[in-house]
Amino acid sequence: MSTADTVKAVLMTPKTIALYVGLALALSWGLQLAAIRVWGLESDATRLIFVAAMWSPTLLALAFITLHRPARRGVLWRPGRLIWLPVGVTVETAIAFIIVAALVGAGVATTGWFAFEPSGVTVSGGPWLLGAGVQSWPFYALNIAVTALAFSLIGLVAATGEEFAWRGFLQGHLTRRLGVRTGILVLAGVWWAWHLPGLLAGYNFPDYPLLGALILFPLQMIGASLFFGWLTIRSGSFWAAALAHAAVNSVQQGVIDNIVTTLPGLAVDALRTGLILAVGLACWSDIARPRSPADPPA
């Protein structure tokens, strides 16, 4: 038996992986559909149920890890290389401000939080932890960085529920069975399907739920999965991806929601989708690079 065959023999079998994925989808779909049907999409109760749904794949993964020995192999729960932790936060925050710069620079949008001048920025609103007022560009950048990191840490409360399951647990089993790139793309499909009830109900794209659910969001999942998967492989941990995910849900979403533009919402979502996909594709060539002995375990 070759080394590769020996490794595969101690992993979860394809049937067990399929069982995990099927149960994860069933749990998520059940929670989302029940909340939407009983309380409606916009209720506080539904939002709480959606947060609970974010934790459902991790609770299921912990059950598999407890009850099924092969499921324990390669779980990336340790901190890993700490230098990678802020990378995802930086990239996801940068995406938001690239969108702001592109739209404001083109004269088709304003943002209620910022007024930009060559000498600096006037911050007039928002949750920026170093305060508002006239700020030099370096201080403004520091303000953004501190706030983004703080809100990403807070956002870990929800994002960890998904990222331990997807990147810390399932990604390793898929990539060892299917190869790195194929495994991560399959995971992107699982991640997209896991969101389907909320997507089709208009949770993420209220003005065009079908287009969002079937075109924009799958492309976002491909880009995000490649980027988060790359972060996980390079850091040897799911925590860098969890921080990146939390940054998307907090600072990136908050900045984009604050944009006032004359363009249709679809244009902003398409620009955001393109940037997320571009980041993922930038990781494509490096994601399966042969690893050095100094790299953390895959």
Q: CA distances (Å), 31 to each of 47, 124, 173, 177, in order? A: 11, 39, 26, 30
Cβ neighbours of residue 95 under 8 Å, at least 6 residues apart?
A: 252, 272, 275, 276, 279
State the helix-helix crossing angle for 14-39 and 44-67, rounded to 10 degrees. Answer: 160
Kindly write down the DSSP assignment for every residue of 179-243, as one continuous string. -HHHHHHHHHHHHHHHTHHHHHTTSS-TT-HHHIIIIIHHHHHHHHHHHHHHHHHHHTSSHHHHH
Query: What pLDDT score does 4 carry?
Result: 53
pLDDT tens-digit profile of 176-222?
Answer: 999 999 999 999 999 999 999 999 999 999 999 999 999 999 999 99
- Predicted local distance difference test score (pLDDT) of residue 298: 43
Average pLDDT, the chain: 93
Query: pTM for this one?
Result: 0.94
| Per-residue pLDDT at 288 | 77
Quickly state the pLDDT bin for 112 (edges 50, 70, 90): confident
Tens-digit pLDDT profile for residues 142-160: 999 999 999 999 999 999 9
